Amino acid sequence: MAIFLEEKSECPVCGRKTLESSFTDLNIPYFSEIYLVRFRCSSCGYKVSDFLSTRYGKPIRCTYKVKNEKELTARVIRATTGTIKIPELGTTIEPGPASEAYVTNVEGVISRILEVAEIAREWAETEEQKRNSDIAIEKIKKAKTGEMPFTLILEDPFGNSMIVAKNQSEVKIKELTVEELQDLRTGGLMFFTPSDSNESTQED
């Protein structure tokens, strides 16, 4: 069920005080602290959504080892500020201006990477680029079927992203150091500073 905040805030696009916000509990077992937050301006139609975790609100890194097929079903909650890294595939998905918040599973993340790799293969110009692309695609396909073990890392400077596995103790959650945080791009929305998120939950 969505909870609407009574207080309207200033719209970042038109500047009027007509921005409505709502919170929806994602109903994820053991993680009721994760909400889908939507903003909508009734004046200009501006819309945006993201995830908000009231549990962390701090820079975190989740690390999950995918050893076989079973682990591909773990859920990945990626807020617009989340960075996904898979070292074994040499892949990093950073937040960009058009990045979107989504809930998928590990297999869904690999599918997105495969799509990008296949586009890169089509654009390859030299024989060497094509060969390298083929090798990369081969690896990604093996990861997608659970034949190749890999590590999924999800970092978020606001702690709004999370990996949720059947056995949650296999997801290692660590707070990021200042140095690690400097390397992280935030991109996406900047609505959710830790102090803002605390205020919002109190209003609920």
Q: How far is Cα 166 from Cα 100, in angstroms, rounded to an integer?
A: 25
Residue with tokens 């690999």: 110
- Rank residues 19 and 77 by Cβ distance to Zn ion and give the closer one: 19
- Rank residues 42 and 129 by Cβ distance to Zn ion and give the closer one: 42
Q: Rounded to the nearest whole angstrom, what is the least distance from the CB of residue 100 to Zn ion in the complex?
A: 20
- Rank residues 44 and 137 by Cβ distance to Zn ion and give the closer one: 44
Q: Rounded to the nearest whole angstrom, what is the least distance from the CB of residue 189 to Zn ion in the complex?
A: 15
**Which two three-digit tokens encode residue 52?**
């908000």
Which residue ranges make up the site for Zn ion (CB under 5 A)?
Answer: 11, 13-14, 41, 43-44, 46
- Rank residues 8 and 112 by Cβ distance to Zn ion and give the closer one: 8
- Rank residues 44 and 93 by Cβ distance to Zn ion and give the closer one: 44
Residue with tokens 């970042």: 12
Question: What secondary structure letter does DSSP report for 54?
Answer: S
Q: Rounded to the nearest whole angstrom, what is the least distance from the CB of residue 14 to Zn ion in the complex?
A: 3
What are the strands of the beta sheet with 47-53, ordered from one edge? 2-4, 19-25, 34-41, 47-53
Question: What secondary structure letter does DSSP report for 9?
Answer: B
Q: How far is Cα 146 from Cα 195, in angstroms, rounded to an integer?
A: 40
**Which two three-digit tokens encode residue 75?**
């859920």
Q: Rounded to the nearest whole angstrom, what is the least distance from the CB of residue 190 to Zn ion in the complex?
A: 17
Q: How far is Cα 39 from Cα 174, in angstroms, rounded to an integer?
A: 30
Q: Rounded to the nearest whole angstrom, what is the least distance from the CB of residue 35 to Zn ion in the complex?
A: 22
